Amino acid sequence: MQEERGRSSYRPNCNGLSSYYRERFGSHSPEQYMNLRISGFDDRMEREEIKKCLTNELKKFAPFEIKVVKNPEEDERLAYVNFERNECARKVRYNLMNKLKAVLGKNVQCDPAGILRDQEGKYIPDRFNRAQQGDKRESGNGGGNRNRPTKEPSTWRLKKDDDEATRTLFVGNMPSDVKEKEIRAIFEEYGKVEEVDIKTPINTDAAYAFVMFQTVDQAISAKAGEQERSLRNGGSRMKIGYGKSQVSRRLFVGGLGSWCDKELLQKAFSEYGFVEHVDYDNGDPFAYVVFENTHTSQEACKNLKGATLTKSNNPIMVDYAKDLTAQPEKPQFMRKRRASKSPVGASGPRTPPGSPKDVVSNFEELDATYAPTWSGKMALKKTDYPVKFYRVYGAERLVVKLLRDEDDVPLRLLITQRLSLSSQNSLYEKLAGCSSKELSLGVITGKKALEDLQPLVNYFTNKDAAGVVTVPGGILYIFPFCEFALKLLADFTPQVHVFNENCPFLLGALAVRAPETPTN
């Protein structure tokens, strides 16, 4: 691929790369770059002295621009050097480091760079490097050609949602025939890509993908660098956001350094529950912490994201990681057949689907393991929401009987009442006392797209309430992500773990004999 893209086959190793660089981009530098980030100066050197020494030592590589700044996160000086000629930055790294260490300090390190940070904390895209990359890709060097604007805005700031960044990027507005190698060729410039999951909706000419990086800050850099840029020359501009983290027992912990050790991680994370294992080699930039269950891992992720473990180090990054002990996703050909009613001649209710070994952790697994038992419209006030009901507990005949009319037509489920979730112990006791013939639980999703249900989810979440639908012979309670819903799932179908506070799902509890409706 390197030869196809017109790049040099020479790949430098990690010699001379700082821990800052290796943590964010790995142990190898890119084949081509026109900018340097120089750190590790002698503490006694002042800003102007550093700039003067660099100007003198690099004069044969002129023209270039030098910017010396103070790292806002640590008490040290950084120098960014932007060259206008190809190969200058590489030659400095491989030919002049001994000279630079002699005049600037023995701990000087030199990294490839593409983004600057000035004294005010603003991030400044490197105009020389960006312009060169844009010209190169537009000229047809390889299959990753993209239409790049040569004029960059002078500054950009981190988006507010970067505070909730995850390792996974949602990348939309791509061509429907996009290949994984195209996506990797673009995003691996920002760090190690662990997984690429491409989605192509039916009857569309566009695709989207989820791109998972090794670290959170790699995802932040990739989002900033590729937002509103096209994958191919002349194509549509990509729309990039952060993907939702899939809750698991295993947490990724980034932003670590020489100050950290396994004992420190064990102590900090054990405050939120029993830690089964800490996977960490002292000095590494990241670690993995495995909890006993997802309840404790969620608490740890929520409270330790952005926290500092000691007084002298930077905030750590915490995100969910793939649980290596979980069962792999079932292939689509194993999906259960959809059933609208019980088979003729059945002597009793069907066996409830799933079992403790059938762990369901996301929508894809839910859709592959459980067929939607019912689909129709759910209405709140004047708005209809097309939905699907994935029965995860209880008799199938119960759903079919209570949510369809005599002609087997799905009822329009009108939400007529709202119940506060703050004090519903009596309701929980009544539902918990129902048998599988009296109660059916189901995950409710949007019929066409998951996001279609988000407004209804937001409504109940903001109101801290459940909805009530009265049907002939029964009552349907509708819960957003909340402690009440998690308790019901844990009691009746503990293998289902699709709910988290950001998912566009609702939980339906359909009771054949309606318990007394608690007061608001």
Kind of pairing between the strands at 372-380 and 412-415: parallel
Report whether 173 contacts 236 (CB < 8 A): yes
From the number of C-beta atoms within 10 Å of its C-beta (0-12, 13-18, 19+), residue 324 rates as exposed
pLDDT band at 87 (very low <50, low <70, confident <90, very high): confident
For Cα atoms 403, 448, 450, give the angle at the middle one, nearest 5 degrees: 95
Structure-token pair, residue 69: 């700044």
Sheet with 35-39, edge to edge strand ranges: 64-70, 77-83, 35-39, 109-112
Q: Are residues 346 and 427 in the same domain?
A: yes
Query: Which of 272, 292, 320 marks a domain boundary?
Result: 320
Q: What is the CATH number of the domain that holds 312?
A: 3.30.70.330
b/e map of 46-85 (b: 16 or more CB within 10 Å)?
eeebbbebbeebbeebeebebebbeeeeeeebbbbbbbee
Same domain, 384 and 348: yes
Same domain membership, residue 262 and residue 231: no
DSSP 398: H
Going 37 to 42 to 48 to 50, the CA torsion angle's sign is negative
Structure tokens at 130: 């960006």
Residue 519 has pLDDT above 70, yes or no: no
pLDDT at 460 over 60: yes
Query: 414-440: per-residue pLDDT in tens?
Result: 998 888 877 677 788 888 888 888 889
Q: Are residues 163 and 298 in the same domain?
A: no
| % the chain with pLDDT above 70 | 75
Average of per-residue pLDDT values in the chain: 75
The secondary structure of residue 333, as a DSSP letter, is G
Whole-number Å distance between alpha carbons of 354 and 360: 9
* Residue, of 68 and 517, whose pLDDT is higher: 68
Report the number of distinct structural domains present in the chain.
4
Confidence (pLDDT) at 479 = 92
pLDDT band at 507 (very low <50, low <70, confident <90, very high): very high
pLDDT of 346 higher than 60: no
Whether residue 494 sits in one domain with residue 396: yes
Six-digit token string for 398: 């119960």
Residue 500: its pLDDT value, please?
78
pLDDT at position 23 is 67
**3-class DSSP state for residue 422?**
coil
One domain for residues 235 and 353: no
516 lies in some domain: no
Q: Are residues 235 and 260 in the same domain?
A: no
Residue 183 has pLDDT above 90, yes or no: yes
The predicted model gives 41-65 an average pLDDT of: 87
**Residues 58, 113 share a domain:** yes
Contact assessment for residue 348 and residue 383, using Cβ atoms and an 8 Å cutoff: no
Cα 220 to Cα 115: distance, rounded to the nearest angstrom = 12
**Looking at the domain assignment, is residue 274 inside a domain?**
yes
The string over 175-187, giving b where at least 16 C-beta atoms fall within 10 Å of a residue's C-beta and e elsewhere, is: beebeeebbebbb
Rounded to two decimals, the pTM is: 0.35
Q: How confident is the model at residue 201 (pLDDT cuts 50, 70, 90)?
A: low
In this model, does residue 311 exceed pLDDT 80?
Answer: no
| 467-480 pLDDT per residue, tens | 999 988 889 999 99
Q: Is residue 188 part of a domain?
A: yes
End of a domain among 194, 216, 242? 242
Q: What is the pLDDT of residue 443?
A: 94
Residues in Cβ contact with 311 at an 8 Å cutoff, skipping those fewer than 6 apart: none
pLDDT band per the 50, 70, 90 thresholds, residue 325: low
Asked if residue 127 belongs to a domain, the reply is yes
For residue 146, tell me if it sits in a domain.
no
Average confidence (pLDDT) over 120-141: 40
Contact criterion met (CB below 8 Å) for 491 and 391? no
Residue 152 resides in a domain: no
Task: Establish if 231 belongs to a structural domain.
Answer: yes
The contacts of residue 509 (CB under 8 Å, 6+ apart) are 431, 439, 440, 441, 476, 477, 478, 479, 488
pLDDT of residue 344: 36
Whether the bond between 63 and the residue before it is cis, its omega within 30 degrees of 0, is yes
Q: Looking at the predicted structure, is the pLDDT value of residue 156 above 70?
A: no
The pLDDT value recorded for residue 130 is 38
Say whether both 345 and 483 belong to one domain.
yes
The CATH number given to whatever domain includes residue 452 is 2.40.290.10
pLDDT surpasses 50 at 123: no
Query: What are 207-261's pLDDT values in tens digits?
Result: 888 898 888 888 888 888 888 888 888 778 888 888 777 788 889 898 888 888 8
Structural domain harbouring 399: 332-511
Confidence of residue 15 (pLDDT cuts 50, 70, 90): low
The answer as to whether 11 is a domain residue is no
Of 135, 150, 176, the one marking the end of a domain is: 135
- In what order do the strands lie in the sheet containing 206-213? 193-199, 206-213, 168-175, 239-242
Q: Roughly what angle, to the nearest 10 degrees, separates helices 262-270 and 294-304? A: 110
* Placement of tokens 């950290």 in the chain: 260
Domain shared by 232 and 259, yes or no: no
| CA 24 to mean position of chain CA atoms | 17
**Residue 177: what pLDDT?**
84
Q: Which two tokens stand for residue 368?
A: 């592959």
Instruction: Identify the pLDDT of residue 161.
Output: 58
What is residue 134's predicted lDDT score, i.e. its pLDDT?
Answer: 43
- Strands 193-199 and 206-213: what pairing? antiparallel
Cα distance between residue 179 and residue 320, in whole Å: 27
Mean pLDDT of 483-488: 86
Closest CA to 400 of 441, 350, 341, 352: 341
Q: Taking 80 as the threshold, does the pLDDT of residue 96 lie above it? A: yes
pLDDT higher than threshold 80 for residue 5: no
Can you tell me whether residue 430 is helix, strand or coil? Answer: helix
Which residue has better confidence, 15 or 279? 279
Indicate whether 129 and 221 sit together in one domain. Answer: no
**Mean pLDDT of all residues in 285-297:** 88
373 in the same domain as 455: yes
Residue 245's CB: how many other CB atoms inside 10 A? Answer: 20
Q: What pLDDT score does 506 carry? A: 93
